[in-house]
């Protein structure tokens, strides 16, 4: 992988300004870097004042930190977006059909397209969901599809987030910040709005209410609490939707329904947008140690008297081992070729694949099947000999715990540094809402950027930052 | 509204009010130390008593010096009523009830927290104390201003006010509890400079020396001061004023919820007491006894509000 081969979304491969960035660049050339540096500091102050912070895990004292925000927007044309959103919609439909199938007749297994043990031996598979029909038939009410780009027309799906995709508050606050700091940019560029997301989310969730719910269903957001790393986002979404933010100890089962303790007594809830993991959802049905969930909520759910978004057990669809089967899954349920490509993936559980991975370890990215947040992964090209040796042993000991992928030459977008613009690698997470009424994709999403030169790790827990993402009206 | 949210709002505003009260007590202590000859550290003892944290102070500090007292009251993390602790915990509660607050109130609270943390990062030198106290007062006013200007007058607002006025009543009663003896007619040597300073202390502790001067231009004695601090219906820190506000807010909750709760009866009794009694009756009953009883009633009312509105279960 050489520097020349990297595609920059502003400057292409040959330092020629790409069209979508033209107006932005005209504006940029007239700004002096001193003003921009001041603006960058202003952005940090705005974030700190609004309290857009995340808590860092693994520290003695819960510490609040800002995710660095970069003022250079990431710009996508309307045409590019149209193709992406068609691909995303197709993929999300397939994921929902797959989940229904897996928790009912398992046709895809019977057809021999996915090995049976990939399902039954998978920690993300919830036998408690077998035969359960979620209200409205929706499993993944909110999905985040992580995309990477390697060229003008080459996009790949890096990961599907079908459990509780986070980061959407940054998509909204990044836009708010840009609107406040550089209003003139939005007069020169016609950027598709993202600010309808909270309203869309509320409508989408309400549309998934169980049958028999009131005309205006009661929606609530369930958070693990103030010390969770994404607490800010939970509060933000509840606030923007105008619904209650509840914790497990605010809830109880009253007359066969989930109800929240209010100043006037217990009030039933129709739809719960939970931001806690399956395992903690119900101490009676899952982890008995959980203090975060609601004892008995699964029984109410099975009785069809509450909607849980996302449905329990959706993790089976975004598991990294299942990921490698996504092309088959899309084809099986939609009868179409996938519009969005998967990154080629070696399943280390297969002996041939394992042999290849061990031989080419220094060229590959190796991920834990159940890992997230960039923890527990190996990036071959930048790893030390010691890291490689350690990972070789891990792979041999538990091959089925890992998948491997080639290191893609991810596209870059410039970031603003003290020495001017500099290219940094990015990915993109668009947010998708699913309800019986249809699928809605907010134009844009969260662009994460690796702030360290040459780094490919964009996770905020590992020093990544974010950018505002523009989808232009063509 | 969630019971938990009502609890968070109630405590957020109690703590903001407490920070303000603590800062005012330090200001008063500071002033006395500067305007009197000689070092009178026993004044700091009474400041600590009024702040309700003398016992706590004793556990951590050997000597009662001005520096130690100011540090304890302003920035000690071991003192839950220090300005720094109150503002930090108020902000923690604000994070918890973020969905109930307007962005203006949240940002004012968060800003107050960030500034106070900066201002109180290190021990304050003598000359730093007055400007920092000014700043704390400004910051508390900022949150109160945002509250009054942007919050809907609904149940959320009522819980913020219940927190504010319960804490304020408690604070005024505690100041009286510590200083009641200087207001007793039997020891009042009218005109002596010692007593003037003590009276001034009481008025300053409840931010009322300006208001009092407006009402009383001529020479006055302890009876007028006691009446002003306990019974004056216009003075926003008097016990009567706080009782009236508590009652009104609980009545508003009754009307909004259509539920009659025991806390309203308690607040009404408190308010009624100040309606029918004048200062002479209170002196007859005993100023100290009255203050003690009021403190008990305020605590009981707080517990009752917790239960009535399901703060915990």
In this complex, which of A235, A245, A262 lies closest to B3 when CB atoms are compared?
A: A262
Tally of domains within chain B: 2
Segment A409-436 shows an average pLDDT of 94
Total domain count, chain A: 2
What pLDDT score was predicted for residue A200? 97
Write out chain B residues lying below 8 Å of A238, CB-based. Answer: 99
What percent of chain B stands above pLDDT 70?
93
Question: Beta strand pairing status for A402-406 and A364-368?
Answer: antiparallel
Looking at residue A287, its pLDDT comes to 86
Q: Which two tokens stand for residue B61?
A: 């500090």
CA distance A47 to A363: 38
Q: What is the mean pLDDT of residues A359-377?
A: 81
Q: Which of A193-202, A399-408, B156-165 has the lowest mean pLDDT?
A: A399-408
- For residue A264, the distance in angstroms to the closest alpha carbon of chain B comes to 7
The residue among A389, A407, A425 that closes a domain is: A407
Q: Convert B88-123 to b/e letters by CB count within 10 Å (16 or more is b).
A: bbbbebbbbbbbbbbebbbbbbbbbbbbbeebbeee
Q: What is the mean pLDDT of chain B?
A: 90
Q: The tokens of A363 are what? A: 């060229």
Owning domain of residue A298: 3-343+408-471
Secondary structure, 3-state, chain B: CEHHHHHHHHHHHHHHHHHHHHHHHHHHHHHHHHHCCCCCCHHHHHHHHHCCCHHHHHHHCCCCCHHHHHHHHHHCCCCCCCHHHHHHHHHHHHHHCHHHCCHHHHHHHHHHHHHHHHHCCCCCCHHHHHHHHHHHHHHHHHHHHHHHHHCCCCHHHHHHHHHHHHHHHHHHHHHHHHHHHHHCHHHCCCCCHHHHHHHHHHHHHCCCHHHHHHHCCCCCCHHHHHHHHHHCCCCCCCHHHHHHHHHHHHHHHHHHHCCCCHHHHHHHHHHHHHHHCCHHHHHHHCHHHHHHHHHHHHHHHHHHHHHHCCCCC
Q: Who among B98, B309, B310 is closest to A235 (CB)?
A: B98
Say if the Cβ atoms of B107 and A239 lie within 8 Å: no
Domain boundary among A407, A423, A454: A407
Of A226, A262, A263, the CB nearest to B96: A226
Split at pLDDT 50, 70, 90, the class of A1 is very low
Instruction: Name the one residue in this structure whose structure tokens are 């007590």.
Output: B25
The percentage of chain A sitting over the pLDDT mark of 70, rounded to a whole number, equals: 96
Q: Is there a single domain that holds both residue A155 and residue A231?
A: yes
Residues found in chain B: 313
The least confident of A221-225, A424-428, B35-39, B94-98 is B35-39
pLDDT digit string (tens) for B112-121?
999 999 999 9
pLDDT at site B202: 84
Residues A259 and A168 in one domain: yes
> What is the model's pLDDT at position A3?
46
Share above pLDDT 90 across residues of chain A, in percent, rounded to a whole number: 76
Task: Name the residue with higher pLDDT: A286 or A415.
Answer: A415
Examine the domain organization and report whether B178 and B264 are in the same domain: yes
Q: What is the pLDDT of residue B193?
A: 53
- Which region among A134-143, B27-36, B298-307 has the lowest average model confidence (pLDDT)? B27-36
Helix (H, G, I), strand (E, B) or coil at A432: strand
Nearest CA to CA, how far is A269 from chain B (Å)? 12
Q: Which of A48, A226, A262 sits opposite B1 (nearest CB)?
A: A262
Question: Quick one: B281 and B181 in the same domain?
Answer: yes
pLDDT over threshold 60, residue B39: no
Answer with the one of B117, B151, B185 that is the final residue of a domain.
Answer: B151
Cα distance between residue B106 and residue B142, in whole Å: 11
Using the predicted structure, report yes or no on whether residue A430 has a pLDDT greater than 90: yes
How close is the nearest chain B Cα to the Cα of A1, in Å? 46
Which strand (E) or helix (H) includes residue A435? strand A431-435
Between chains, do B114 and A51 touch, taking CB under 8 Å as contact? no
Q: Find the domain containing B6 and state its range.
A: 1-151
Q: Rounded to whole angstroms, how far apart are CA atoms B127 and A219? A: 54
What pLDDT, in 10s, does the model give residues B82-105? 999 999 999 999 999 999 999 999
How do residues B219-256 score in pLDDT, each as one tens digit?
Answer: 677 888 899 999 999 999 999 999 999 999 999 999 99
What is the per-residue pLDDT for A256? 95
Do B142 and B160 lie in one domain? The reply is no
> Is a pLDDT exceeding 50 seen at residue A62?
no
- A104 contacts A313 by C-beta, under 8 angstroms: no
B3 touches chain A (CB under 8 A): yes
A residues 211-240 closer than 8 Å to B (CB): 226, 231, 235-236, 238-239
Q: Among B151, B176, B200, give the residue marking a domain's end.
A: B151
Residue B187 has pLDDT above 80, yes or no: no
Is the N-terminal amide bond of A306 cis, ω within 30° of 0?
Answer: no
B83/A64: higher pLDDT = B83
Across the interface, whether the CB atoms of A49 and B111 are under 8 A apart is answered yes
Could you tell me which residue, B55 or A53, shows the higher pLDDT? B55
| Nearest residue on chain B to A221, alpha-carbon basis | B99
CB contact under 8 A, A239 and B98: yes
Average pLDDT over residues B183-208: 69
**Are residue B165 and residue B245 in the same domain, yes or no?**
yes
Which ipTM was obtained for this model? 0.84
In terms of residues, how long is chain A? 474
pLDDT tens per residue across span A105-138: 999 999 999 999 889 888 889 999 999 999 999 9
Write down the pLDDT at residue A58: 46
Q: How far is A396 from chain B (nearest CA, A)?
A: 46
């Amino acid at each position: 992988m050489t520097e020349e081969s990297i595609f920059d979304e502003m400057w292409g491969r040959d330092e020629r300004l790409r069209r979508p960035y033209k107006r932005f660049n005209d504006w940029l050339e007239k700004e002096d870097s001193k003003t921009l540096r001041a603006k960058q500091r202003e952005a940090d102050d705005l974030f700190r004042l609004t309290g857009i912070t995340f808590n860092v895990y693994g520290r003695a004292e819960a510490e609040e930190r800002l995710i660095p925000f970069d003022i250079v927007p990431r710009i996508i044309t309307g045409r590019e977006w149209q193709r992406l959103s068609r691909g995303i919609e197709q993929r999300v439909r397939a994921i929902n059909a797959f989940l229904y199938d897996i928790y009912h007749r398992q046709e895809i297994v019977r057809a021999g397209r996915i090995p049976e043990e990939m399902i039954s031996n998978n920690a993300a598979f919830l036998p408690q969901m077998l035969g359960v029909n979620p209200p409205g038939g929706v499993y993944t009410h909110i999905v985040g599809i992580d995309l990477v780009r390697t060229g003008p027309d080459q996009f790949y799906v890096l990961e599907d987030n079908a459990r509780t995709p986070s980061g959407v508050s940054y998509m909204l606050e990044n836009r708010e910040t840009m609107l406040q700091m550089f209003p003139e940019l939005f007069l020169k560029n016609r950027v598709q709005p993202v600010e309808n997301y909270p309203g869309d989310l509320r409508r989408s969730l309400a549309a998934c209410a169980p049958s028999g719910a009131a005309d205006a269903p009661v929606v609530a957001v369930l958070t693990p609490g103030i010390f969770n790393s994404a607490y800010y986002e939970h509060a933000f979404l509840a606030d923007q939707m105008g619904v209650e933010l509840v914790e497990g100890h605010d809830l109880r089962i009253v007359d066969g329904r989930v109800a929240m303790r209010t100043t006037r007594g217990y009030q039933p809830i129709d739809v719960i947008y939970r931001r806690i993991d399956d395992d903690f959802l119900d101490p009676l049905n899952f982890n008995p140690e959980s203090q975060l969930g609601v004892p008995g909520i699964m029984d109410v759910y099975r009785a069809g008297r509450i909607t849980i978004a996302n449905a329990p057990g959706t993790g089976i669809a975004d598991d990294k081992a299942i990921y490698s089967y996504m092309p088959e899954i899309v084809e099986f349920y939609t009868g179409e070729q996938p519009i969005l490509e998967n990154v080629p993936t070696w399943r280390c559980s297969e002996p041939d694949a394992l042999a290849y991975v061990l031989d080419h370890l220094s060229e590959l990215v190796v991920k834990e099947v159940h890992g997230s947040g960039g923890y527990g992964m190996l990036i071959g090209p930048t790893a030390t000999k010691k890291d490689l040796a350690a990972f070789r042993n891990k792979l041999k000991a538990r091959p089925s715990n890992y998948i491997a992928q080639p290191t893609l030459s991810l596209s870059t977008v410039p970031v603003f540094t003290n020495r001017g613009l500099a290219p940094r690698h990015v990915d993109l997470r668009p947010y998708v809402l699913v309800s019986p009424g249809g699928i809605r994709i907010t134009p844009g999403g969260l662009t994460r950027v690796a702030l360290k030169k040459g780094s490919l790790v964009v996770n905020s827990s590992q020093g990544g930052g974010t950018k505002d993402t523009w989808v232009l009206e063509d | 509204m969630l019971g938990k949210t009502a609890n968070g709002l109630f405590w957020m505003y109690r703590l903001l009010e407490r920070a303000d009260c603590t800062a005012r007590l330090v200001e008063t202590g500071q002033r006395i130390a500067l305007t009197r000859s000689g070092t009178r550290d026993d004044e700091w003892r009474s400041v600590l008593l009024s702040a309700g944290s003398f016992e706590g102070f004793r556990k951590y500090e050997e000597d009662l010096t001005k520096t130690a007292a100011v540090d304890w009251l302003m920035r000690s993390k071991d003192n839950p009523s220090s300005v720094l602790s109150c503002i930090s915990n108020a902000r923690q509660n604000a994070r918890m009830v973020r969905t109930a607050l307007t962005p203006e109130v949240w940002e004012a609270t968060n800003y107050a927290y960030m500034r106070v943390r900066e201002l109180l990062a290190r021990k304050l030198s003598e000359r730093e104390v007055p400007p920092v106290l000014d700043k704390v007062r400004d910051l508390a006013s900022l949150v109160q201003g945002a509250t009054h200007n942007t919050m809907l007058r609904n149940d959320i607002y009522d819980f913020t006010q219940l927190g504010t006025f319960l804490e304020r009543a408690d604070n005024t009663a505690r100041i009286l509890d510590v200083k009641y003896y200087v207001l007793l007619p039997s020891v009042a040597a009218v005109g002596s400079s010692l007593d003037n300073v003590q009276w001034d202390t009481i008025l300053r502790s409840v931010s009322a020396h300006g208001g009092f001067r407006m009402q009383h231009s001529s020479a006055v004695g302890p009876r007028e001061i006691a009446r002003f601090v306990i019974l004056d219906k216009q003075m926003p820190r008097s016990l009567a004023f706080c009782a009236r506000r508590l009652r009104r807010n609980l009545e508003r909750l009754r009307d909004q919820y259509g539920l009659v709760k025991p806390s309203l009866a308690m607040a009404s009794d408190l308010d009624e007491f100040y309606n029918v009694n004048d200062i002479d009756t209170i002196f007859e009953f005993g100023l100290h006894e009255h203050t003690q009883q009021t403190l008990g009633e305020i605590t009981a009312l707080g517990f009752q509000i917790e239960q009535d509105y399901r703060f915990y279960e």
